[in-house]
Structures are given as C-alpha cells and as structure tokens.
Amino acid sequence: MSFRIPSERRRAVGLAIVLVAQLMLVLDTTVVNVALPHIQEDLHFSPATLSWVLNAYTLAFGGLLLLGGRLGDVLGRRRVFTIGLAVFTGSSLAGAFATDATFLVVARALQGVGAALAAPSVLALLTTSAPDDRARNRALALFTAVSSAGASIGLIAGGLLTDLGSWRLTLLINVPIGLAVLAFTSRFLDETPRRTGRFDVVGAVTATAAAVSAVYALVTAPEHGWASATTIGLLIASAVLLAVFVATETRVAHPLLRLSLLKVPSRAASLTLIAMMVGSQFSMFFLLILFVERVLDFGPLAAGVAFLPLSLSIFASSRVSAALVGRFGPWPLLVVGTAGMMASFLWISGIDESTSYVTGLLGPMILNGLSAGIAFMPTTVITLSNVEPEHAGSASGLMQTMQQLGGAVGLAIIVSVYSSHAVPGQVVPGLAQGFATSAIMCGIAVLIAISGAVAFGARRRVVRVAAVTESESVNA
C-alpha cells in the first residue's frame, strides 16, 4: 500500500522548496561580497580582476537567462529547474575548493549558468502549483519578500560564515541546501506542460559573448591602455557580436528577445534606467566593502551589519512606492529616485582616509537606499505595462536580463576608473573617482527620467497603467 501525501501538504512543501531555491539564488549575488577582501588576499586577485568574482556570475546569469526561460517552456519547468539547480550546486562545491583565481572565476560563471536555468522556472512552478488566485497571490507575496530580503541576508550570512571559518563557506553553504532541494523536487513539484519550438542558441551565445567582451575590455583597459589594440579590438568584437545577435533575433522563429518590445519608447527608456541604476549601485557593494573592511578595519560580519541601513532603506521605501506610483505616476518618482541616488554618490565621493562610518558613510547609504527603493518599482510598472499576455514572460525576462548585464557592465566601468587611479597596496586612491562615476551614471538616468516625465508622464494615463500592472510587477 503506497503512502499518498495530502495535496494541501504537498503544495505547501512544494512552495517551500521553490522559495528556498529562490533565496539561495538571490543570496549568491551578495553572499561573497563581504568576503571579497579575504578572497583577494587568499587567491592573489588584483583590484581589477577581483571584480570578476561578481561579474562572472552576473554575466552568465544575465546572458543566459532568456535561454533558460525558453528551455523551461520546451523541456518542462521542473526538469530545467532541476538541471539548473544541480549545475549551481556542483559549481558551488567546486568554487569552495578553488586553488587559484581562474578556478574560482570559472566556478562562479558555472554558478551563473545554473542560476540562469533555474531562476526562470521558479515563478512558473510557484504559479502552476497554486490551486486558486488567492493561493497564487500568497505565493507571489512570499516570493517578493524572499527576493527583497535576500540581499540583506546574503551580506549578514556571508560575513558570519567568513568570520566563523573562511570565505569558502560562502560557497560551500549552497551544497547542503541545493542537495536538499533536489532530493524533494520530483516528489513535491509537478512538471509543467511542454511547448513545441526550437532554441535560439545563436542568440544566447552572441548576446553573452558580446557582454563578456565589453566587460573584459573595460576591466583591462587601465592595464592595456584605452587606445590599445586589445581594448579597441574587444570593443569592436562586442559591437559585432551585438549586431549578429540583433540580426538573429529578427530572423529566427522563436527569438530569445522580441525586438518589438523595444519599439515602445517608454519601455526602452525604463530598461535603460534599470541598467544605469543597477550598474551604479555596484560601487556600494564593491568599492565601499573594500573601504569598510580594509580601511575602517571592520570584520566580515561587522561589514555585513554595516550595510543593513542601505538594505533596510531600500526595503522600507519600496513598501510605499506602489502607493506613490498610483498617486503621482512612475516618471515623477523616477526623477526623484535617480536624483537622490546621484546625490548619495556625490556625497560619498568625498571619501578619504579620515572618513568614519557614522559621520561619513551612514548618511549617503540611507539616502541611496531610500532613493533606490523609490526608483526601482516604477521601472517595473513601465516595462510591463501594455504588454500582451503572451509576451509578459518575455518582458519580465528582458527586465531581469537588463538588471544582471547592467550590473556587470556598470561594475566593469567603475572598476576600470578605480584601477586607473589606484595606488598599489592602498585602498583609498581611486575611490572618489569610482563613486563619481556612479554619480555620472545616475546623472544620465536623471536626464532620461526627466525626458520620460515630459514625454510620457500624463497623470491619468499613468494611473490606469499602474493599476493594470500592479500584480504583474510582483512577477519581476
């Protein structure tokens, strides 16, 4: 006699499994951040190459995210989720035992591949396992809470693990969690229906290669020279690959990216804003961590706690941003949010050896967090508004891709500027220029937001769009 698990309990366990997997994927975007100084010292990274510990993950994640979503449509979400999680778990184990810089970067890239396969299936598995709209909305609310809290938890967990043992634990912790999720996936999660179609492999390869080429050119430019054949050749290669990608997407039957989504000016503007804002934020999670640990001499756990005001400010202002969008519309909020972010970077660009945490860093971090929380939700509303239901997944995937690739390119630019002014053995030289670069990115975002407010900011139309897309924005 076989034992049958009650359907309600099965759904609850299935929901928990998917949410744990989502938390693990979100954690990995920040869990290694506070361990970066220790990784640099242990594996002998230079300041420029250290950025690849973050960028290898985000480039692979962002570049292959759309392909991961398509694979899930054709092969089944549960199957692709399982494969992605297995790749992520195995590469986490490999990275934990990395013996040199190259080994770790490759492992981080493979983690990104696994995340790109698993992440698009998370929402599909959540929604398909829900028996009614009420359960679906509850699942989406829990998904949003996990995603919002993940960055903060990652910083604290990364600091705690590094303090207790080693930076290697920040990767090793994924192994038991991943194995546990894999063990229960087939038992508690149903497979989704498959769709016929082909895979746009050429599109995925050219998009990812274009991003990698551009980032590598930017990161190594201080070493090779901006006018060097290497730098110029890589940038040209990136442009050519991008052109091939666009040409491919116009011809294949099942493109990764529906170029028609970019023909709407407001959506194209909001996606550019997403890339600019996420890219600028990486100075906080890269340069400032180096300063806090190396100059202020905070331990990893203390450094993670030190960034809580930033994360909590983002969380707090994002809770009220939906109501503000309904009252004022998304574009005015984007003007205020991007201007506040720019001001925070200009404020912190005055950093030097005498800067203290309370008087010099706390204020800019809180201003940055409040401003970012106000700005990010409106971009979701604009990006997903007026999208046909059959293209909603593509629009959401495009937005997530812009977040990942925008962060990778933004970090590459910031690190390139920092390295150009860095002094060997010192942390502070170059920090001011790096934060000023983030301010410039946000300044460009402010101009785009003002243009959007003038061109698209009709009060009545914005309220209607916000109401229509409120539930869709959760999916992003």
For 220-230, b where at least 16 C-beta lie within 10 A, e where not — what string?
bbbeeeeeeee
pLDDT (tens digit per residue) in 454-468: 988 654 344 333 333
Read off the pLDDT band of 95 (50, 70, 90): very high
Last residue of a domain, one of 191, 211, 235: 191
Give the Cα separation of 270 and 469 in Å (integer).
15
Report the range of poorest mean pLDDT among 24-33, 101-110, 455-464: 455-464
How confident is the model at residue 474, as a pLDDT? 32
How confident is the model at residue 440, as a pLDDT? 96
Q: Could you tell me the residue range of the domain that residue 210 belongs to?
A: 200-253
More confident residue, 463 or 344: 344
| pLDDT for 329 beyond 90 | no
Q: Do 344 and 396 share a structural domain?
A: yes
What contacts 97, CB < 8 A, 6 or more positions away? 168
Q: Do 366 and 428 share a structural domain?
A: yes
What does the block give as tokens for 416? 């390139």
Q: Do 308 and 246 share a structural domain?
A: no
Residue 88 lies in a domain: yes
Give the Cα separation of 412 and 418 in Å (integer).
10
Last residue of a domain, one of 154, 171, 191: 191
How confident is the model at residue 31, as a pLDDT? 82
Q: What is the mean pLDDT of residues 110-136?
A: 75
Candidates 116, 110, 83; CA nearest to 95 is 110
Q: Could you say which DSSP state residue 75 is in?
A: H
Q: Do 133 and 208 share a structural domain?
A: no
What contacts 298, CB < 8 A, 6 or more positions away? 292, 306, 357
Q: Do 334 and 239 share a structural domain?
A: no
Check: CB of residue 44 under 8 Å from CB of residue 95: no
Q: What is the mean pLDDT of residues 122-139?
A: 65
Percent share of the chain, pLDDT over 70: 86
Report the range of poorest mean pLDDT among 237-246, 261-270, 272-281: 261-270
User: Could you give the number of structural domains in the chain?
Assistant: 3
CATH number, residue 78: 1.20.1250.20
Give the Cα separation of 51 and 252 in Å (integer).
35
Q: Do 395 and 305 share a structural domain?
A: yes
Q: Do 113 and 17 share a structural domain?
A: yes
- Alpha carbon distance, N-terminus to C-terminus of the chain: 44
3-state DSSP call for residue 71? Answer: helix
Candidates 233, 240, 203, 243; CA nearest to 401 is 203
pLDDT (tens digit per residue) in 167-204: 999 999 899 999 988 888 877 776 666 666 677 788 88
pLDDT (tens digit per residue) in 41-88: 999 888 778 888 988 888 888 888 888 877 887 788 888 889 999 999
Residue 67 lies in a domain: yes
How confident is the model at residue 476, as a pLDDT? 33
| Alpha helix (H) residue ranges in 2-100 | 7-27, 36-43, 47-50, 52-75, 77-96
What contacts 182, CB < 8 A, 6 or more positions away? 82, 85, 86, 89
What contacts 73, CB < 8 A, 6 or more positions away? 194, 195, 197
Last residue of a domain, one of 191, 208, 230: 191
Q: What is the mean pLDDT of residues 261-265?
A: 84
Residue 1 lies in a domain: no
pLDDT (tens digit per residue) in 194-219: 666 677 788 888 888 888 888 888 88
Report the range of poorest mean pLDDT among 123-127, 234-238, 346-350, 444-448: 123-127
Q: How many CB atoms lie within 10 A of CB 187?
A: 11
Give the Cα separation of 177 and 24 in Å (integer).
8
